[in-house]
Structure 1
Amino acid sequence: MKSYTAYPIVEEHQGLTVEVYLKQILKYSGRKIQKLTRQKGILLNKKAVFLQKNVKKGDILRVLTLEDSSYGVEPEPGPIEPLYEDSYLIVLNKPSGLLVHPTGQTSQGTLSNYLAHYYQQQGAICTVRPIHRLDRETSGCVVFAKDSQTQAQLEKFLKEGSLKRTYKAVVDGILDPPVGTINAPIGPHPTKPNRRAINQKGDQAITHYKTVQSFSRASLLELTLATGRTHQIRVHLTHIGHPIIGDRMYGKSSALISGQALHAFSLHFPHPVEPLEIAVEAQFPASFLRVIENYSKIEG
């Protein structure tokens, strides 16, 4: 049985042609629209429609869900921890030390490889589509879309800021003021290609922070992002003199934790299809808790 996704036409999109709505609003490529046309996969109010037909408020555009033909990565057995899952998306808790997706010389042993195997075990061919990334040593929430339209909608939420990401970090020192905003542009490092740096010619980068708990020599922070630059939190916290504990790239290593004490604690976003809100939390990993416990003992 064919599966369709329904899109009610709202007043602000009235007058657009079906083709323009598919391209501009739903972010379909011309190639995909051609494929849908060949399969008679575009319906307006349950009837076949020409691409140049204008839509009006109250219309229901239905688009055939095209099945994926590959996972996009090599399926590989490995542990995953789903925090939320439905027919359109899945949120996983990524452990520290694991890449989200193959990159460079690494083609296996990533969270995406493990997720592909998870799909395979369910008997589904579903391309792995991470909506955002976490650094290898950062743990916590990562959302993946199960189809291209959900991907486009979630990426839109991410760009608009309605996909809200909250991080927790243990940093060196006490922040003054305890609540604030770091607004400093980030660009490539002048001499180290794998790093980022504060650069007045770089992209705007804004990080909001709040001190959750202060110790004598460290602080537990809650952080939210107004922008999503590579290594943004790490670069910003080092810039203000409070590097993340264990961050070897922008601070220094720590005997307390093998990676960095940075955790993607929660995600909150509107569902891309259903009329509901998704709120997901990933509890602190044991390594993160050990850092907190250590500084708590020093405090005592």
Structure 2
Amino acid sequence: MKIYMSVDMEGATGVVRSEQTKASRDEYRFGQAMQTHDLKAAIEGALEGGAREILVNDSHDGMINISPADLSRYGGRVRIISGSPKTLGMMEGVECCDGAFFLCYHAMAGTERAILDHTISGKAVFGVRLNDKEVGEIGLNAAVCSEHSIPVLLVTGDTAACEEARSALGQEVLTCSVKRGIGHSSADCLPPDDTFEIIRKGAFEAAKSLKYGGTGKNEIPRGAFQMDISFHYTSQADSAATIPGTTRIDGRTVRIKGIGMDLMRRWAGSLISLGGSVAF
């Protein structure tokens, strides 16, 4: 049984401000340490629950936040995909696994009382709709899992991210809340010792369930898709709309259609990256 762990940073224990998630800032060391703290809790729980292998995908920003040296204690049972760009970004390598964990995740752009809410790029994206349903990174990444019939078993982050996961994936998905958002950059946070046990136990239950045949439900559709990406500025949409195959819906919004959620996720990453590169 092989578990996939996509690991972001904004939803990690104690992280509340953007400075803690940017490698250029002194505060980043704290965010990096807490991301690794939550990951280790999930790894230990998953191994206790029956996982034989774990594939970690560093999924935040430049995707070089987690040191492989911090995972050496697990004796080769844990591997890590590090660096960028990756074809599937936050979901690179998922197709070879049996179940997925989304760790340290955050809520979609525009969510109230959510820590550092955004969808892929805070400076570019106003919102994303997939098959006429508003989604964030949880929904976009779960769609890739759905395409490969891989259940999303566990989501960790703030309370808003956990609520979003249950709404998008179904009430059966296990969630672990490590903090409750007060505003965009403030939260009521649990201490690391507490969150380690919460995440470890959640990962144990998720892995144990998969081992004994309880794959859960993934309510994200697969197959054909229509994705509308709304940018903050018309200049960003102008740039994204230069790509062949896109349709301009309005001043802010670009639409792309296709078949296959792997392709959808690649389009999302590419269009948002292009739109976000524009000066405004």
Bucket of the pairwise TM-score, normalised by the shorter protein: under 0.3
Instruction: Pick the structure with greater CA Rg.
Output: 1
Higher relative contact order (CA 8 A, sep 6+): 2
TM-score of the superposed pair, with normalisation by structure 1: 0.24
TM-score of the superposed pair, with normalisation by structure 2: 0.25
Larger helix percent: 2
